[in-house]
Amino acid sequence: MSFGGYSGQAFSPSGDKGRFTLPPLFRKAVKESSDGRVLCLAKHDRWDCLTGFGLSRKNELDEQLDREEERAIRMQAEFDRDLRAMHLFGFVELPFDDSGRFVLPDHLRDLAGIDDGGLYFQGAGRFFTIWNPARLQAMGPEWAAAQAACASLTAEAEAKGKRK
């Protein structure tokens, strides 16, 4: 089966011992992309969130770097290949168990403002984003669909938690 990309939305409440859970929809896609249980995470280069993907994306990053450099040359724009490479390849590889549990490193928690309020996951094709719901809600109106999905999924998880 070929990897089909990341799509959809999900919310995951924070777990015990500083662990979070990769939701089933994304867990399945990461397993397909990584040929196992390895989650790659980094700070998104423009948004106040994390970006996640499986190991297969590593193969694309050199090609992306080449495309970005070629574009900068065509547009006669500044391009720092070394700095951009650090951005692209600065991700961490995290193992996760069969239930999708993983430990989020403190530096990534801090960079994306993630607290114990849970995580919102948003598919974006070749990668997905992971948000502190409050940070997503602070984004502009172009984020309305993701904000609505996040609010709904967060409320659903909170209601489910109260029933327990």
pTM, full prediction: 0.89
Name residue 88's amino acid.
L
Nearest alpha-carbon partner for 157 in 40, 23, 48: 23
Count the neighbouring beta carbons within 10 Å of the beta carbon of residue 39: 25
Locate the domains of the chain by residue range: 9-56+90-163
Higher pLDDT, 66 or 1: 66
Phi, psi dihedral angles at 51 (to 5 degrees): -120, 140
Q: What is the CATH number of domain 9-56+90-163?
A: 3.40.1550.20
C-alpha dihedral (10, 157, 108, 102), degrees to nearest 10: -80
Helix axis angle for 81-89 and 58-74, nearest 10°, is 150
| Helices of type H across the chain | 24-34, 58-74, 81-89, 106-112, 133-137, 144-163
Q: How far is 51 from 74, CA to CA, in rounded Å?
A: 28
Q: How far is 83 from 81, CA to CA, in rounded Å?
A: 6
What are the tokens at 22? 């990769």
Residue-wise pLDDT tens digits, 71-119: 999 999 999 999 999 988 999 999 999 999 999 999 999 999 998 889 9
State what percent of residues in the chain have pLDDT above 90: 75
Residue-wise pLDDT tens digits, 113-140: 998 889 999 999 999 999 999 999 999 9
